[in-house]
Amino acid sequence: MSEESSMWAPATQTPFTPLNGSNFTVQNLPLPPSFTWGAATAAYQVEGAARQDGKGPSIWDTYSHLTPSRTNNDNADVTCDHYHRFEEDIKLMQSLGMETYRFSISWSRLIPLGGRDDPVNAAGIAFYNRLIDSLLEHGIKPSVTLYHWDVPQALYDRYKAFLDTEEFRADFERYARLCFSSFGDRVKSWVTFNEPYIISIFGHLNGSLAPGHCVEAGTDTRTEPWRVGHTIILSHASIVRMYASEFREQQKGEISIVLNGHFYEPWDVSSDTDIEAARVRLEFYIGWFADPVYLGRDYPAVMREYLGERLPSFTAEDLELLRATCSINAFYGMNHYSTKFARQLMSSSPADDWTRNIEESSVNSAGEEIGPASSMPWLRIAPDGFRKLLNWVWSRYHLPILVTENGCPCPGEEDVNVAVDDEFRQQYLGLYLDSISRAIFEDGVKVVGYYAWSLMDNFEWSSGYGARYGVVHVDFETLKRTPKNSAYYLKKTFRERRKQA
């Protein structure tokens, strides 16, 4: 078996204390002394204050109020009320030993109408200044995401946001410049976009996330996702160029993008077709964005071959921009939660297929599950897949990897006692940190940090308040915060693991 194909060999099952039928054991392996850790949130999910102090509506304000509901009859008008309680939350982060807080800025809080000629909201600028200053006062490094799914509704109304590449790029450049000039003297870590795959596919093909484009809504799902992705890639490159030419020398910061992705194992490990399917699925999922952004080149050839005219083309000027900016990206931002099996289907594929007719599953041809399920059926404990993905990304892009999101919701977490005594989450986090350690010390992969998703329970998009990912429990009636045992576990494990290194 070749070195490449060995990556798709059956996952090694390490012994592990019984937990919902699983059999893995956390080893608490060491991490480098310089390894940094913290937690992450997104503005729409935690801030609340949806119509306060001049904030304009975003597509998520609209989407979460549709009838019938697309968000489990919930919305984020108040959610965690982080807008008013951020000082309490920052003190809590400090008490838990967190070194970094990754949060996003609400575009429509800064520019309520979103556009390059629209007024700036001074109250929005003031809020993020207070947040950033308080973080620094408490010894916590701010890491800022410019866009986490919440484009101003006004821009969607004007030109459908991402579907007009040139208009969106111009408006996003103005917004990004405002952020760099307002906060860049203190913020040294920037992310342009969070999870463009999700924006493109879930927002503009299956319609499960804002703005809800899908066949049933009458939108062109054959081409829209690829047009959206194209806009994001070029907008990211424009912002990276701007930051490097106008701000980096003085502000001494770094910038990149955050990509999500599962790892894929072949549904039938003895099938060359399914082994190829696992490779292809990674290129369609991750290579779609990472190849242009980090390698400065066209989309993966397998995408170009399968999608044909559905996939936009880069102009010579576009490719020049991508080549000029690919080396400026300071890290590979990785959001990762689980692993799936990939099976190549032989039947005809639908006209708007986005996977090359590859089926994803949590069960393989032998009826074996990839790992024990969290409260979300798709999210399984599969730490070996995480290690393999770290290796795949490092080998292909050779950039320091910053794990910008990782975590899970526990089975039974609707019971507050289960939620606080979250053994399942502690096992998950411990196993995934062990995988990082193995990738660093045994495989030579450069992984520089880890941000748990999420700091606290919050509005989980289409799941509303039904899924809890936080290491801090939130009572959404009283808004009381209670650290879960996983929060204390992370504090202790990072203190001890880095001592061992």
Sort residue 112 into left (φ over 0), alpha (ψ -120 to 50) or beta.
alpha
DSSP state of 476: T
Q: Which residues contact 90 (CB under 8 A, 6 or more apart)?
A: 101, 131, 134, 135, 138, 140
Q: How far apart are CA 90 and CA 72, in angstroms?
A: 29
For residue 267, the one-letter residue type is: W
CB 300 within 8 A of CB 288: yes
Q: What is the 3-state secondary structure (H, E, C) of 178-234?
A: HHHHHHCCCCCEEEEEECHHHHHHHHHCECCCCCCCEHHHCCCCCCHHHHHHHHHHH
Active site residues: 195, 405
Instruction: Choose among 352, 342, 314, 336: nearest CA to 225.
Output: 352
Instruction: Choose among 187, 178, 57, 52: nearest CA to 120.
Output: 178
Report the relative pairing of strands 141-147 and 254-260 from DSSP bridges.
unpaired
Using alpha carbons only, give the angle 152, 336, 370 rounded to the nearest 5 degrees: 135
CB 460 within 8 A of CB 413: no
End-to-end CA distance of the chain: 33
Tokens of 385: 């897949």
DSSP per residue, 55-115? PPPBHHHHHTT-SS-SSTT---SSTT-HHHHHHHHHHHHHHTT--EEEEE--HHHHSTT-S
Q: How far apart are CA 175 and CA 144, in angstroms?
A: 13
CB 270 within 8 A of CB 203: no
Instruction: Choose among 493, 479, 485: nearest CA to 81.
Output: 479
The values of phi and psi at residue 380, to 5°, are -115, 150
Instruction: Choose among 62, 87, 92, 91: nearest CA to 77.
Output: 62
Q: How far apart are CA 222 and CA 307, in angstroms?
A: 9
Q: How many CB atoms lie within 10 A of CB 49?
A: 17
For residue 136, the one-letter residue type is: L
